[in-house]
Amino acid sequence: MKKVILKNGIAVPAVGQGTWKTGDIPDRREQEIAALRTGIEQGMTLIDTAEMYGSGKSESLVGEAIAPYDRERLFIVSKVLPQNAGRKAMRRSCEESLKRLKTEYLDLYLYHWRGNIPLSETVECMQELKNSGLIREWGVSNFTTDDMHELEALAYSENCTAVQNLYHIGSRGAEFSLKPYLKTRGTAFMAYCPLAVNGSLRSGITENTVLMQIAEAHSATVQQIMLAWAIRDGNTIAIPKSSSQKHTVENALAAEITLSDEELRMIDSEFPTPDRELPLDVE
């Protein structure tokens, strides 16, 4: 499994596991737990969740899935909602997430998206959680480059470990300024929805003849090529969601695919890099 090195020197898998909508349907619980455990066994020890997902159901399912494993082997990520990202509620939100996950700490806690609470207050609360040991690192999600410039002016901004945004072959807006900005600061980028499973941006990707040709050359699926493409720069962590053990194994194997320069040029011709700042994609 390829790795991404975070600011603290910890190596995390370049392909982890997302859990959006996981836990929503009780009849799928055992299947989803099995998929997560399969992912862990395949080296995808980074698991991403959030208090918003199923109003805590996803965190509870993750807590059950990780119970048999050595906690130090895992890298657990969760997120705090904007309305809870201040002095009145953040510590309580974090503690409730920890209870659902049945763990004493989070490896990474993310501010899910910006709300009305001043960013400076959110950052101070994140740092307090880190100082108390409830979280080991913190970061942000759904932030633009302008948001990151605002963050950079605040105390403790150097401790922002990762930024998580939507990113896939059909949504490359982060490449114009955000990803280069993060790389110069040693801040990891996390790609949610790297397989473009939702929204109109998925249209035309999985049936694209060039992607199908590249996939055939690697004896892979188009989805595996999409994951290999997403993590190609060594600073990006992709977090695809899978409720199937088969697809989970395929996601893990995608991390071993290296695309050639010519293949990357072929992809660029079909899905061009942006030549200007684009609005933040969220679905």
Domain count within the chain: 1
pLDDT in tens, 74-86: 999 999 999 999 9
The predicted pLDDT at position 198 comes to 62
Q: Is residue 272 part of a domain?
A: no
List CB contacts of 36: < 8 A, sequence separation 6 or more.
17, 19, 22, 47, 61, 62, 65, 66, 248
Q: What gap in Å lies between CA 52 and CA 4, rounded to an integer?
A: 26
DSSP-derived pairing of the beta strands 108-111 and 138-141: parallel
Q: Is residue 207 part of a domain?
A: no
Q: Note if 53 is an active site residue.
A: yes
The predicted pLDDT at position 201 comes to 58
DSSP-derived pairing of the beta strands 11-13 and 3-5: antiparallel
Residue 159 corresponds to which tokens in the numbers above? 């401790």
The predicted pLDDT at position 44 comes to 98
Q: What gap in Å lies between CA 156 and CA 139, rounded to an integer?
A: 11
Q: Is residue 106 part of a domain?
A: yes
pLDDT in tens, 76-113: 999 999 999 999 999 999 999 999 999 999 999 999 99
Q: Is residue 265 part of a domain?
A: no
Q: What gap in Å lies between CA 133 and CA 155, rounded to an integer?
A: 19
pTM of this structure: 0.95
Q: Which of 53, 109, 167, 192 is catalytic?
A: 53
pLDDT in tens, 3-55: 999 999 999 999 999 999 999 999 999 999 999 999 999 999 999 999 999 99
- CA-closest candidate to residue 247, choices 225, 221, 229: 221
**Contact indicator for 191, 239 with CB cutoff of 8 Å:** yes
Q: What gap in Å lies between CA 190 and CA 169, rounded to an integer?
A: 14
For the chain, the 3-state helix, strand and coil shares in percent, each to the nearest 5, are 45, 15, 40
- Mean pLDDT confidence for 45-67: 97
Q: Is residue 235 part of a domain?
A: yes
Give residue 12's domain range. 3-199+226-257
Q: What gap in Å lies between CA 185 and CA 235, rounded to an integer?
A: 11
- Mean pLDDT confidence for 256-272: 97
Q: What gap in Å lies between CA 190 and CA 239, rounded to an integer?
A: 7
Residue showing tokens 């199937």: 244
The CATH number of the domain holding residue 83 is: 3.20.20.100
Q: Is residue 211 part of a domain?
A: no
Q: Is residue 262 part of a domain?
A: no
Q: Is residue 92 part of a domain?
A: yes
Q: What gap in Å lies between CA 153 and CA 143, rounded to an integer?
A: 15
**Contact indicator for 255, 13 with CB cutoff of 8 Å:** yes
Q: What gap in Å lies between CA 251 and CA 239, rounded to an integer?
A: 9
